[in-house]
Structure 1
Amino acid sequence: MTMAANPDAIAFRGALGAFATGVTIVTTRDGTGADCGFTANSFNSVSLDPPMVLWSLARTSQNMEAFRGASHFAVHILAADQEALSNGFAKRGADKFAGVEVERGEGDLPLLTGCTARFQCRTAYQYEGGDHIIFVGEVIAFDHEDRAPLLFHGGRYAMAARRAATLTACDPGAQRTGSFGEDFLGYLLGRAHFQLYGRMRDSLTEHDLDATDHFILSVLGINDGRTAAEIDGVIGYTGAHISSDRITSLAARDIVRTDPADRLWLTETGRRTLVELAAAAKAAEEDALGAFDENETALLKHLLKHVIRSTDPGLPDPWAAPETP
């Protein structure tokens, strides 16, 4: 590894970006009593006894005068769903508090809601730190919620997920050449799908339906009034296909009806059935994700959407409105 004696500022910033940090918003009130704040990831703890934290502010910041003269400030550690709030407070010259719910703390400090943690601080020290000023605060009050944090890594937002200590990857050396192992994505996705869908089997049987019937009802539940060909185009990737006999069977049980244009519509019975199936599906999902925290669930779904987008051969969008005849 080569160490640069006088590192280029951009390259240096890029190297620092390899360290994942939390995202905070620091707030205070200026000399006129106006609320001010900005987004920062330079936050760190200093001491437990007494409780102290620090953060830094660029000398060129428009907030410098306000924080230099402030006796108190508040540091908010943002939650994973507060990316928009972070972006809003990162903009220069904007009314950052417009439309933002604010509570009041020590010295009338503006406190943001929905954060992972909040620290109300008395300004204890200010130090020179090159092109930044380092602010050290003594924590006089704090609160904390069990919410997943928003992270920043490599110049972009990231999400945190706990690593399960009980899960281990298969040993690549134990696999025969050309064979699929337990880490093969197709195997993992396929097994997860069939095991999850298997939790719904009793509910489907109770309504005398199968997986294909459920696909059809689900598509109609998103947008009613589709033709058989349109439904077939949406569910065809599953290997299932809609047939005239299947439509006849669903119609005979008053689950769907057809109109003169041969479009299919859910009946009241069909909608009630779909609601009951949706409840069973949600219960199966909650059971499967019971060991996950909120952020792990969001991360899993986010990554699965990436897989779907990267492998999509151009399938119709099931959420698109059907064409008007």
Structure 2
Amino acid sequence: MNTYDAAMRLVGLPATPTSRGQELQDPLTCFPSSVVLVTCGQGTDGIGVLARSFAILSPASALVAWTIERHVAGASAVEQAARWEAHALAYDQAELARRIAAASGHGLADISLRAGANDIRVLEGSAVTLSCERVTSFACEDSLIVIGRVSGFVRSDFPPLIRHDNADAISINIGGHPLGLPAETTATSLSYLLGSAFFYLYGQMRDVGGRLGYNNIEMFVITALGERGGRTRLEIETLLAYSAHPTGLQAMDDLEARGLIESHDAVNGVLSDLSYDLTPAGRAVFEQAWQAGLRVETEMASLLGVPETVALRALLYRFVGKIDRYAPAAWL
């Protein structure tokens, strides 16, 4: 009996894969794992493969292990390599992972590696790179298991890309009060938390508009046209109403009179179909507001940290993308 057979019998699973293995696919996705690219070799002889799994065997001895399918292209090359790098992909490298997965045993020609500290080859934009020396490798059923010893590493501030429940996720560390479902108190509800965050951010941006000499509605119009020009009078009025602003559009005429926006006559002559764009002066005001927004984001990053800020942006982007389809007018 080999080690694999013994381990499977201990946990009550058959050693030979069956339909049971297919049933396990769903529960096994509940175990989050980093997406790891392993590279070895140089130039045209270099190769990169996505690890099926990656594990820390012994922090004290700096031992790590990873597996790939035995029959993928490049398996023999990585098995024989004396040195290799394990790159934990960053949160925004999911497309790179899909491209490499589609071309198993991917060459290094279009994988951007650079020389990092101690001449470690670092994958550009990755979360962390471990440089490893081969200890041993062995076959186990359909898998090749490689064990290595970490000889050096290069780490960035990018949060790693995580695979969980068959979807891409972002690694974050949420401390403080536990946020259960449903919310135990109003203070932990999404409505309260999103509302509090909105008023904080809105207050920051309102101060910017005030210093520039524009009221809330004027800054709203300038920002809306800065994000996408050519909006009609009716569309801007709908956006204002949807965001609970007063819908009177005297601000449009005032901004045009001050040379910040310009209107384009509608083909049918209907006032509500007039379209608007920012003038160069209006664009300059929008750029100031945009820079102020970036400063607010920088402040958030300093309070939360880079991984949490990235995760918050990703979640809000996904949420807004889902609710925009039901909005009477799209912001972007």
Normalization by structure 1: what TM-score? Answer: 0.81
Residues 272-301 of structure 1, C-alpha deviations (whole Å, 9 max, x = no match) = 222222223332333244312223222212
Residues 172-223 of structure 1, C-alpha deviations (whole Å, 9 max, x = no match) = 8986xxxxx2233233222221221112333222333222111111122123
Q: Is this contact kept in 2: 1:21–1:41, CA < 8 A?
A: no
The equivalent residue for 1:210 is 215
Matches within 5 A, 1:277-292: 277-292=289-304
The equivalent residue for 2:92 is 81
Matched, 1:158 2:163: no
Cα distance between partner residues in 2 of 1:223 and 1:148: 31
Cα distance between partner residues in 2 of 1:103 and 1:285: 29
Match of 1:70 among 77, 81, 94: 81
Residues 112-149 of structure 1, C-alpha deviations (whole Å, 9 max, x = no match) = 33222222222221234232222111233332223211
Match of 2:27 among 8, 15, 27: 15
Cα distance between partner residues in 2 of 1:282 and 1:173: 31
Cα distance between partner residues in 1 of 2:106 and 2:13: 41
The equivalent residue for 1:238 is 243
Q: Which moved more, 1:41-50 or 1:8-17?
A: 41-50
The equivalent residue for 1:275 is 287
Say which SS state the counterpart of residue 148 (structure 1) adopts.
coil
Between the aligned residues of both structures, percent identity stands at 25
Q: Is this contact kept in 1: 2:183–2:189, CA < 8 A?
A: no
Q: Is this contact kept in 2: 1:196–1:285, CA < 8 A?
A: no
Number of residue pairs matched by the alignment = 308
C-alpha deviation, 1:69, in angstroms = 2.6
C-alpha deviation, 1:151, in angstroms = 0.9
Cα distance between partner residues in 2 of 1:204 and 1:104: 45
The equivalent residue for 1:178 is none
Say which SS state the counterpart of residue 110 (structure 2) adopts.
coil
The equivalent residue for 1:227 is 232
Say which SS state the counterpart of residue 120 (structure 1) adopts.
strand
C-alpha deviation, 1:163, in angstroms = 0.8
The equivalent residue for 1:194 is 199
The one-letter code matched in structure 2 to 1:227 is: T
Say which SS state the counterpart of residue 291 (structure 1) adopts.
helix
Q: Return closer, same or farther for 1:317/1:25 CA change in 2, 3 Å cut-off.
A: same
The one-letter code matched in structure 1 to 2:313 is: K
Say which SS state the counterpart of residue 218 (structure 1) adopts.
helix
Q: Return closer, same or farther for 1:155/1:101 CA change in 2, 3 Å cut-off.
A: same
Cα distance between partner residues in 2 of 1:272 and 1:33: 49
The equivalent residue for 2:5 is none
Unaligned runs of 5+ in 1: 176-180, 320-325
Matched, 1:304 2:316: yes
Cα distance between partner residues in 2 of 1:117 and 1:188: 32
Cα distance between partner residues in 2 of 1:174 and 1:62: 52
Normalization by structure 2: what TM-score? Answer: 0.80
The equivalent residue for 1:114 is 125
Q: Is this contact kept in 1: 2:37–2:88, CA < 8 A?
A: yes
The equivalent residue for 2:101 is 90
The one-letter code matched in structure 2 to 1:19 is: F
